[in-house]
Structure 1
Amino acid sequence: MTTAILLAEPPPVAESPLRIPGNKGIWAGITCEFVEFAVLFAVYFIARAHFPQAFHDGAQRLSVAAGTTITLLMITSSYFIACSVNAIRQDKHRSAIIWLVAGLVVALGYPVTKALEIDWNLAHGINGESGIFFTVYYYLTFTHLVHATWGILGILWVLARLSFRGYSSADYAGLEALACYWHATDIIWLIIFPLFYVLA
C-alpha cells in the first residue's frame, strides 16, 4: 500500500492562465494608436526619402533641448506611474496616490514644454508652412500631444477613483490600463524624438 502511494504520480499542478495587464478595451485603444502612428511614420519616411536635404536642414533648426526635456518627462512620468501600480499591488494605497500624483505633475510638464517649444519655433520663423520637414514635424508631434493629453485626462480620472479607494490589490485593472496606455504613448515619443531631433 505504501509502495503504491510512493510510486503514484503527483497530482498535476494547475497552471495559472496568462494574464494580460489592464483590460481588453485599453489594448484595443493602444492597437489603434500604434496603427495610426505606423501610418504617420510611413508618411515621414516617404517624405524624407523624397526630400532628404529638407529633413537634414530642418532638424538643425529644432530645439534639441525641448525634445530632450520632453523625453525625460515622458520616461520619468512612466516610471512614477509604474511605481503607483506596484504600490497598489501591495495594498499601499497612500503610496500609490503619491506616485500617481508625481506622475501627473511630471506629465503636465510635457504640454508646458511643448507650448514653450512652439513659442520658440515661431520666434525663429518655424511654422507649419516652413517646408515639408516642419509640416510633418508639426503633424506628428501635435498628434502625439493629443494622445498624451488623453493620457493626462486618464491620470486625473484614475487618481480620482484611487483617492476614493476605487482600486486595491484585488482589483487595480483601471490603474494598470492607464499605465499601459501611458507607456505606449511614451514608446511612440521615443521613436519620434530621434527621428526629428537627432537622426534627420
Structure 2
Amino acid sequence: MTAATLDTPPPAIAEEGRHIPGNKGIWVGITCEFVEFLVLFAVYFISRAHFPEAFHEGAKHLNTVAGTVITLLMISSSFCIARSVNSIRQSHHQAAVAWLVGGLIVALGYPVAKVLEIQWNLAHGIDGGSGIFYTVYYYLTFNHLVHASWGILGILWVLARLIFHGYSAEDHTGLEALASYWHATDIIWLVIFPLFYVLA
C-alpha cells in the first residue's frame, strides 16, 4: 500500500449519493490481500485435515492471552480510525486528528504484543520447526503482521496529511482508503484468532 494508493481520486459517486469509501486502487490492494489469505487459509485447512492431532495439541501451547490482546488492539484501533473518518466528515478536524492519533497508538501495540508473544513462544521451545501446526501458525501470523505494518505506515502518512489539513469534509479519500485497508486487515485477524487460539 503506497501513499499514491491512499490519495488517488475517489470512484464515481453511485446512485442516491452513495459511494464506495476510499478509491479503486485501495480496493485492488484489499482484494489482493484477501486472495493471498484465502490461499493461506486453504493451506491451514489442508494441513489440519492431514494432521488433526498436531493442530489439536499445538493450540494448547499457544499464548491465548497474547492472541486476545492482539484481537482487542485490532478492534480498538479500527474503532478509532472509523471515528476519525466520521469526525472529518462532520468537519471536526481536531477530533479527526485526535482519533487517528489514538488509532496509531493502539495499532502500534500490535507489533509490540507480537514480539512479546514470539519471545514467550521461543522461551517455551515453540518455533517454526516445532511441527506442522507451528509452521502454519508462524507463516500466517507473520504475513498478517507484515500487512498490519503496511497499515501502520499508512496511518503515519495519512496522519501527517490530516494534521496539515490535507483532508476535509468534502475530500477525505485518503482517510477512507486507510480505514478500508485497516478494517480488512482487522477482519483477517478475526479469522486467524479463532483458527489458532480457540478452535484448533
TM-score, normalised relative to structure 1: 0.92
1:20 corresponds to: 20
How much has 1:92 moved relative to structure 2?
0.3
How much has 1:77 moved relative to structure 2?
0.2
Letter in 2 for 1:104: L
- C-alpha distance in 2, partners of 1:24/1:121? 40
- C-alpha distance in 1, partners of 2:149/2:117? 17
2:115 corresponds to: 115
1:9 corresponds to: none
- C-alpha distance in 1, partners of 2:20/2:69? 32
- C-alpha distance in 2, partners of 1:147/1:125? 26
Unaligned 5+ segments in structure 1 are 1-14
Q: CA offsets, 1:58-117, max 9 Å, x none?
A: 000000000000000000000000000000000000000000000000000000000000
How much has 1:17 moved relative to structure 2?
5.0
1:8 corresponds to: none
Letter in 2 for 1:16: E
How much has 1:154 moved relative to structure 2?
0.1
2:90 corresponds to: 90
**Which secondary structure does the structure 1 equivalent of 2:16 belong to?**
coil
1:6 corresponds to: none
- C-alpha distance in 2, partners of 1:16/1:52? 51
2:34 corresponds to: 34
Computing the radius of gyration from Cα coordinates, the structure with the larger value is 1
Letter in 1 for 2:50: H
1:102 corresponds to: 102
Q: CA offsets, 1:163-190, max 9 Å, x none?
A: 1100000000000000000000000000
2:172 corresponds to: 172
- C-alpha distance in 2, partners of 1:101/1:17? 30
**Which secondary structure does the structure 2 equivalent of 1:126 belong to?**
coil
**Which secondary structure does the structure 2 equivalent of 1:16 belong to?**
helix
1:79 corresponds to: 79
Two-structure CA RMSD over aligned residues (Å): 0.7
- C-alpha distance in 2, partners of 1:16/1:199? 43
Unaligned 5+ segments in structure 2 are 1-14
Letter in 2 for 1:38: L
Letter in 1 for 2:79: Y
Where do 1:93-172 residues align within 5 Å?
A: 93-172=93-172
- C-alpha distance in 2, partners of 1:99/1:17? 26
Q: How many residues align?
A: 186
Moved over 2 A (4+): 15-18
- C-alpha distance in 2, partners of 1:68/1:188? 14
- C-alpha distance in 2, partners of 1:159/1:19? 23
How much has 1:16 moved relative to structure 2?
2.6
**Which secondary structure does the structure 1 equivalent of 2:34 belong to?**
helix
